[in-house]
Structure formats: structure tokens, C-alpha cells
A and B are shown apart, each in its own frame.
Chain A
Amino acid sequence: MAGYIPYILCLILFLVGLYAILVKKNLIKIIIGLGIIDYSLNLFFVLVGYKKGSGFPILTKGETVHPMVDPLPQALVLTAIVIGLAVTMLMIAIAIRLYEKYGTFDITQIRKLKG
């Protein structure tokens, strides 16, 4: 179990976000839960690619190769972070409009289909 502790803590962070989505009734809390899940998944990818005792994947001048961490998860996560921001922005815009329409963030009150 000793080599898996960061993965397990990352999983617990994921579960905190999942709990927020399933149990909370406030729309902003649900968006925050989705953001936490986003963070934990990004972190999980980078954790899987980490290699002990190696440097970052950038070559300095005159250097051909040196021990480096896996650059592929980092490239994928770089894309995922920016897309996560875009999705969060869209969700918040919809939440603001819903608040203007219904005067509340409570999802049990937002059930009337009008206009």
C-alpha cells in the first residue's frame, strides 16, 4: 500500500466533489463540486506520470537527454485545464440567468417550465 497513498488521497478528493454534486441543493455548490472533480482528475494524470528523481521535461542548452518525468500526461492535462475553465464559465453564466429568472439558487425551486 505504501506506493499508492497519493493515488488514494486523490480519489478521496474526487469523492468530496462527487458528494457535493449529489447531496447539495445550491447551484453554486454543485458547480464547485464539478470544479473539485476536475482538479482531482488533472492531478491524478500528473501523479501517474511522475518519476522519482527526475527533472522537468525541458532540455537546457547543449543537452540531449536527461532523466525527466513523462511529458505526455502533462500535455493532455494542459488542454484539460483550459477546457475546464471554459465549462465552468458556461455553467456560471447559466446559473446567473437562472437566478435572474427564479430569484434563488435552490435547485428544488427551479422546476417550473416557463418561457
Chain B
Amino acid sequence: MGIELVISGLLVLMIIAAIVAVEIKDLLSSVVAVGAVGVVLSLLFLLLQAPDLAIVQLVVEILALIILVRATVTRDGTDYSTKEIFVKTVTMIGVLIFIFYAFRAIKELPRFGEPKMKVASYYVTEGNGIKNNISETGAANIVASIILDYRGYDTLGEATVLFTAVLGVLAVMRKVGRKK
């Protein structure tokens, strides 16, 4: 029960920071609140025994924060609040339907802390066939061996997505060829 309580407390902190980020008027404060959400998420990854993810999340969060501050700091920060009752009503009905089905779906999941782990069990038992070798790939870090060996094409696709996103940013932001 102990670890579950700690994780639930940090998640409540994340939810509070997210509500602040969504509802506060000043855009710069909103961006800083998103940074708080990301840093707590990094802490949660560390508690959930995922050190690689914690490191990557921290770096990504800092980069995203810098870019978001660049986008908001010199610009008009007024909040364009919604006055229309119709939009909020429809949104609330949609959210209630979503909650109903999501609660039914969550009941089907394995309980927290008791995963099925079919693939991972294969990796550490049957996959451990070679003598004097710690695993099938010989890698000590199993997460690294999955992303670079078993799912190497997946990582190649990730690099493609990153390259495409950089191309998109360059195409959108370039100064040459822009009509005045």
C-alpha cells in the first residue's frame, strides 16, 4: 500500500498543477505550471523503477519549457475565455460519456502492481538460453536492448519522425521566400 499511496499523492499534485496550467490567466505562469507537471512526472518515473525514462523526461521537459517560453514571453497574454454555454454543456456531456466507458474499461485491467508480463518473462527466462551470457542480446540494460535490438525498426521510425518534424519547423519558420 505504501508505494501506491506515494504515487497517488504525486498524481494528485500533477492534476492540481495541470488545472492551474489550464485555468490561469497569464500565459507565462501557465507555461511554468506545465513545467511543474513534467518534473513531477519525471519523479514518478523514478519511483516506478524507470530511470531511463526519468532522465529523458527531465531533458525533454526543459527543452519544451524553453520553446514554450520563447513562444509566449513577448506576446499578448490575455485569456480569451469562453462565454458560450453550449460549448461547455456539450463538452461536459462528452466527458461524462467518456468517464462511463473508461471506468468500465479500467475494471478489465490487471490490478496496479500485478502486471501480466508475458513478453518480459520470456526475455528473462526462455530468452536466457546462451551460457555465460546475461541475456539474449548480451545487454545489461534491458530497455536499451529492446529499443535498439528487438524494436530497432521502431527506433528508425522515431528518427524519421524527428527529422520530419524538424523539416516542418524549418519550412514554417523560414524567412526566405516569404511574401510581404
Contact = CB atoms under 8 A, between A and B. Distances in A.
A47 to B, nearest CB: 7
A96 B71 contact: yes
A92 B67 contact: yes
Contacts of A59: 134-135, 140-142
A28 B141 CA distance: 38
Interface in A1-25: 3-13, 15-20, 22-25
Interface string B39-77: 001001100111111001100100110011011100110
A92 B66 CA distance: 11
A88 B143 contact: no
A4 B109 contact: yes
Interface residues of B, number: 89
Interface string B111-128: 111110101100111001
Interface of B is mostly: helix
Interface of B: 3-4, 7-8, 11-12, 14-15, 18-19, 21-22, 27, 30-31, 34, 37-38, 41, 44-45, 48-53, 56-57, 60, 63-64, 67-68, 70-72, 75-76, 79-82, 87-88, 91, 94-95, 98-99, 102-103, 106-107, 109-115, 117, 119-120, 123-125, 128, 134-135, 140-143, 146-147, 151, 154-155, 158, 161-162, 165-166, 168-169, 172-173, 179
A73 B37 CA distance: 21
B109 to A, nearest CB: 7
B112 A78 contact: no
A57 B147 CA distance: 13
Please provide the 7 A-B residue pairs with the shortest distance between their CB atoms, ordered closest to farther: A3-B111, A86-B165, A52-B113, A75-B146, A9-B11, A25-B80, A57-B142
Contact of A7 (B63, B112, B151, B168): B112
A19 B87 CA distance: 11
